[in-house]
């Protein structure tokens, strides 16, 4: 269920890395994956990154992303729990330079969902959580067709490779049909 553009079942952690959408349009979903530091799951580093609190000195990798100001609407943890950083009616800074089906600047009209992960397979709990989120988005926002989600690698193929080959879109569609 979505209440005032917040997923009721998600823990809320507000990110400053968001702004107003240029038009009142929400018509797509972009899937991403993230682990911070790379290969590590759990912990506070993703939330710290999305809220500009990351300790740049805490891990050598963090120097390569120092000063990055990004966010997503949702993070789905390995256990399926959701954390929401940006209300859906605001623009999260997740897609960067992007293009899909002749449109650019996908942050303007999409919802960004991060899956906690890397090249390893995502968990069943994450797929179940994602399927539930996509059903809720589809029922609340009439321009979203949940089965037509795109990935970061599809909209920015020369820059990004997430969520990567371990993401099983067919499995997700089966759960949604289910």
147, pLDDT greater than 80: no
pLDDT single digits (tens) 65-99: 999 999 999 999 999 999 999 999 999 999 999 99
114 annotated active-site = yes
User: What's the CA gap between 83 and 81, in Å, rounded?
Assistant: 7
175 near 125, Cβ under 8 Å?
A: no
Taking alpha carbons only, the member of 97, 96, 95 closest to residue 149 is: 95
pTM over 0.95: yes
pLDDT for residue 146: 77
How distant, in Å, are the alpha carbons of 45, 80, 141, 166, 170 from that of 131? Answer: 25, 10, 15, 17, 12
Place of tokens 């959408």: 21
Catalytic residue among 47, 57, 63, 114: 114
Domain map of the chain by residue range?
A: 2-177
Note the CATH number of domain 2-177: 3.40.80.10
């Amino acid at each position: 269920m979505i209440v005032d553009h917040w997923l009721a079942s998600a823990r809320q952690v507000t990110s400053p890395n968001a702004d107003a959408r240029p038009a009142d349009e929400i018509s797509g979903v972009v899937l991403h994956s993230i682990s911070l530091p790379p290969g590590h799951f759990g912990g506070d580093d993703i939330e710290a990154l999305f809220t500009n609190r990351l300790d740049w000195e805490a891990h050598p990798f963090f120097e390569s992303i120092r000063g990055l100001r990004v966010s997503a609407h949702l993070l789905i943890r390995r256990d399926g729990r959701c954390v929401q950083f940006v209300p859906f009616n605001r623009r999260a800074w997740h897609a960067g330079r992007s293009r899909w089906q002749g449109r650019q600047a996908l942050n303007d009209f999409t919802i960004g969902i991060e899956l906690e992960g890397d090249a390893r397979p995502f968990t069943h709990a994450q797929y179940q959580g994602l399927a539930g989120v996509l059903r809720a988005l589809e029922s609340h926002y009439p321009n979203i067709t949940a089965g037509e989600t795109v990935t970061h690698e599809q909209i920015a193929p020369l820059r990004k490779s997430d969520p990567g080959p371990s993401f099983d879109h067919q499995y997700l569609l089966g759960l949604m049909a289910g």
